[in-house]
Amino acid sequence: MADLIATREAYGQAIAKLGEVNEKIVVMDADLSHATMTCYFADKFPDRFFNAGIAEANMTCMSVGFADAGFIPFVSTFAIFGTGRAYEMVRNSICYPHMNVKLAMTHAGISLGGDGGSHETIEDIALMRVLPGMTVLVPCDANETYKAVEAAAKIDGPVYIRLARMATKVFDDMPFEVGKANVLKDGKDAVIFACGTMVECAFEAAKKLAEDGLDVAIVNIHTIKPIDKDTIKTYAAKCKNVITLEEHSVIGGLGDAVAEVLLEEGGYRIKKLGVQDEFGQSGTPEELLKEYRLDPESVYQDIIKPELFMRVKNHRFTHGIITTVHFRG
């Protein structure tokens, strides 16, 4: 396995590098530049870095002034503050006038660790994707983060990039196109639609499922909005059993975004794995993921729970729900 790199670290490096070729980029932070890793940009381009102090609402609105002047502001802080505390500023000052501002927010999800539930946002995808004109990107690794940052700078309008604190696996280089999901593994018995930190988990869970003879497809939904309806519909139709997996509340996030797409088709039962409508708490990232059943073993168990996901001996599916259980051994 390659070295582990957090997407926030990849973001810090990406924006510092992008700053070399794109002079329009300015970066704002709210006293967290050594956690969001915008410090790399700040060191390299002190004249294009602005610390707003611990004042996220003001940072959000001030970035609009930079966009008005033709700059491309990347605004960073912890996701809980950038999308939560400053929510109405994002809505009214950035999205309502469709300003060219990029919100690159770190420490999203429950895996940030010791800071606890007050700092662990499990609502940000829901909050950002409901805003008209907002693009929502959730990169799964360092490479994808780099490409997401590059792509965001090219979009004329608001973009939210969700980034994580904990170091995660770096996958082999994959193509990245905003709005186009990546099929990472083909399969026929079930499909897991995953995003961000949970893509790696989906792989590990799929390995365990393979030991039970289940061939599970994995689709990386790095763009939550605009969502790739075609790929979702194609893989749901092919695999019948649909699972969504995200380090976010099961209310309003990736799971609901996928469900909305499949509602257009009808006939699917969807198993949404994520944080089940509760707040996070302090712990190590590993402990927290296990506690909230977002580690590979829990995900595996939740997928094969007979009442939720069952396998037919003769591989005949009815309406996406496998009706009898057959476990190997």
Partner 1 sequence: MDIAYLKEKCNQIRIDTLKEIHVAGSGHPGGSLSMTEIIVSLYYYKMKITPKNPLDPLRDRFVLSKGHAAPIYYAVLADKGFFDKELLWTLRKLHSPLQGHPDKKKLPGVDASTGSLGQGVSIATGMALAAKMQGNGVNVYAVLGDGELQEGLVWEAAMAAGHYKLDNLTVIVDNNGLQIDGSCDQVMSLLDIGKKYESFGFTVYDVKDGNDLEQVIEALDAPSYGKPKCIVAHTVKGKGVSFMENSVGWHGKGLNDEELNKALAELGGK
| Residues annotated catalytic, as ranges | 56
Strands (E), the chain: 5-6, 25-29, 49-51, 72-76, 102-105, 135-137, 159-162, 167-168, 182-185, 190-194, 216-220, 223-225, 241-249, 270-275
Output 38 or 93, the one with its CB closest to partner 1: 93
Taking the C-alpha atoms of residue 119 and residue 102, their distance in angstroms, rounded to an integer, is: 21
Kindly state the tokens that stand for 104. Answer: 């690159």
Question: Among 50-58, 137-145, 175-183, 284-292, which window interacts with partner 1 (CB under 8 A)?
Answer: 50-58
Output 88 or 177, the one with its CB closest to partner 1: 88
Determine whether 172 is exposed, middle or buried from the number of CB atoms within 10 Å of its CB (0-12, 13-18, 19+): exposed
Residues contacting partner 1: total by CB under 8 A: 27
| Nearest distance from C-beta of residue 94 to partner 1, angstroms | 10
Output 53 or 267, the one with its CB closest to partner 1: 53
Which residue, 189, 235, 231, 232, is CA-closest to 211? 189
What residues does 162 pair with on adjacent strands? Answer: 105
| Nearest distance from C-beta of residue 266 to partner 1, angstroms | 35
| Nearest distance from C-beta of residue 224 to partner 1, angstroms | 24
Residues contacting 190, CB < 8 A, separation 6+: 209, 214, 216, 217, 239, 240, 241, 242, 243, 303, 309
DSSP H helices in 90-164 = 124-129, 142-154
| Nearest distance from C-beta of residue 126 to partner 1, angstroms | 21
Question: Among 47-55, 166-174, 249-257, 314-322, which window interacts with partner 1 (CB under 8 A)?
Answer: 47-55
Kindly state the tokens that stand for 114. Answer: 């010791």
Q: Does 23 bind partner 1 (CB under 8 A)?
A: no
Residue 237, phi then psi, degrees to nearest 5: -65, -35
Contacts to partner 1 from residues 25-44, by CB under 8 A: 26
Question: Among 12-20, 49-57, 238-246, 277-285, which window interacts with partner 1 (CB under 8 A)?
Answer: 49-57
Question: Among 6-14, 46-54, 243-251, 295-303, which window interacts with partner 1 (CB under 8 A)?
Answer: 46-54
Output 87 or 235, the one with its CB closest to partner 1: 87
Alpha-carbon dihedral sign for residues 79, 148, 229, 239: negative
Residue 71, phi then psi, degrees to nearest 5: -80, 170
* β-strands 270-275, 241-249 pairing: parallel
Output 52 or 303, the one with its CB closest to partner 1: 52
Contacts to partner 1 from residues 58-97, by CB under 8 A: 58, 60-66, 68-71, 88-89, 92-93, 96-97
Output 92 or 301, the one with its CB closest to partner 1: 92
| Position among 24, 98, 185, 293 found at the interface with partner 1 (CB under 8 A) | 98
Interface positions with partner 1 (CB under 8 A)? 26, 47-48, 50, 52-53, 55, 57-58, 60-66, 68-71, 88-89, 92-93, 96-98
